[in-house]
Chain A
Amino acid sequence: MKEQIREVIREHGRLAVDVDTLADDADLYQAGMTSHASVNVMIALEDSFDIEFLDSMLKRSVFESVDSIAAALTEVGVPA
């Protein structure tokens, strides 16, 4: 799952650095992801994993790192 998440971030996150240089718990916003780019990451994650996030998950802190995104995906039923 985390490789698939990284793929989405690579495609849509517009980070200042290569996502592969970041640890799973690294802060994506500190790595240069803007609010606008984070929305594109969310949309692409919904598409890639064929799920819908709940409103309660759609906030900055949930999309802060690969780990926090993985936790949210697990919560909506994506197998780990």
Chain B
Amino acid sequence: MTITAEVDAAVVGSARRIADEVAAPVAEEVDREARFPAEAVAALREERALSALVPVELGGAGASLDAVAGACFELGRRCGASGMVFAMHQIQVACMVNHRGEGSWFDDYLREVVAEQRLIASITSEVGTGGDMGKSIAAVSEPDAAGTASFEKQAPTVSYGPHADAFLTTVRRAPDAEPGDQVAVLTRREQMEMDQQGTWDPLGMRGTCSPGFVAKATFPVEQIVPERFSTISAETMTPVSHVLWSQVWLGIATDAFDRARAFVKAAAKRKPGEPLPAAIRLSELMSQLSLLRAEVGLALREYCELHANDRARLSEMATILRFNNLKIAASEQAPTVCQEALGVCGIVGYKNDTPFSVGRHLRDSMSARLMVANERIHATDASLLLIAKEV
């Protein structure tokens, strides 16, 4: 194997082990109590998985996005919240790695991510923008003579906000900048005041612990990511989010399918030779799962290919449409698979305390359509479809 292939195999292998041995045993408790999956995150830190995407020259593993996607799938399969926290952290790291500009402050910060295994969250949504990540109300203040600036932002949700070490926040570039003229700022928790707003008691993805916050930060301007947010968003944040989230959703749906399959096998063993209607439904379910797997896998390959060989194409509207469509399709298909798995398992799937329970899977997967609302993405796509050619 090449060095990269070895690194990649190790990233996926350790995620699978952590998923099975650390995340799975407490997944129900994490869900029931809406508590952070601290054990899984600690184990991922131990394996230095939080810096998997940091390039080797900055001390990281230099793993591929393909490997990180595999790790998201493995974690999502055992605990949706653990998978989603890991996925979101990797998205922030990818944004910094790809858009830091060589030799900037971010080189040192990424070395720190490696050494200290910092967990990074994002503050992208904002009260008053109607869910449009491409607009901000909060702005970077005019820097003082020492080059120190500040912002204050009201966020309706900050995923694992109570548990992150640092935050990547979108804000307008300057007090007089237009809403779409944004930058991303990385600030350490020590540089911030995080005032939690309300509680976190949602339907699913309960372990992500994502209440609202009013975030205030004071920071040197070198902590602003050098490239503009519109470029970061088009080339990295949006497509990588959709690619990694959909891997987590595929993991959740795959486990729901596996549970339905285990249920049918157990039933077949009890009554050998008798017709089993659930077995037919299971077979139908497999074709639903395979559609999801195909869409998710194809998009991952396309992103890796474009990122490696033709990065400019990531900004093209036709490409943006395809990665938006991935999010919409996967976020609708994953709960469909979970619901059909429930149909196969019946009452033992509906109960929360059987080996065939799929209630958590269904609830977790239902968050998918809200993470950047599908309606908003459809509105964007409807506009892009008017002008893009080959989509």
Give the interface of A toward B (CB within 8 A): 16, 29-36, 39, 42-43, 46, 52-56, 58-61
Chain B contacts of A34 at CB under 8 A?
Answer: 134, 180
Q: How far is the CA of A55 from the CA of B380 in the complex (A)?
A: 17
Number of contact residues on B: which range applies?
A: 20 to 34
Question: Could you write out 14 A-B pairs with CB less than 8 Å apart?
Answer: A30-B177, A30-B181, A33-B180, A34-B180, A36-B380, A39-B384, A42-B387, A54-B389, A56-B313, A56-B316, A58-B387, A58-B389, A60-B230, A60-B231
Complex CA distance for A46 and B386, rounded to whole angstroms:
12
* Nearest-Cβ distance from residue B318 to partner chain A, whole angstroms: 5
Report B99 CB to chain A, min CB distance, Å: 14
Which residue, of B177, B383, B386, B390, has the highest number of chain A Cβ atoms within 10 A? Answer: B383
Q: Is B279 among interface residues, defined by CB-CB distance under 8 A? A: no
Q: Is the CB of A60 within 8 A of B386?
A: no
| Shortest CB distance A32–B (Å) | 4
What is the distance, in angstroms, from A41's C-beta to the closest C-beta of chain B?
A: 10
Interface contact A32-B389, CB-CB below 8 Å? no
Asked if residues B383 and A39 are in contact (CB atoms below 8 Å), the reply is yes
- In the bound complex, do residue B178 and residue A29 qualify as a contact, i.e. CB atoms below 8 Å apart? yes
Residue of B nearest to A41 (CB): B387
CB distance from A50 to the nearest CB of B (A): 15
Looking at the complex, which one of A16, A33, A59 makes contact with B317 (CB distance below 8 Å)?
A59
Chain B residue at smallest Cβ distance from A27: B181
Complex partner residue of B315 from A16, A33, A54, A60, CB under 8 angstroms: A60
Interface pair B178/A59, CB less than 8 Å apart = no
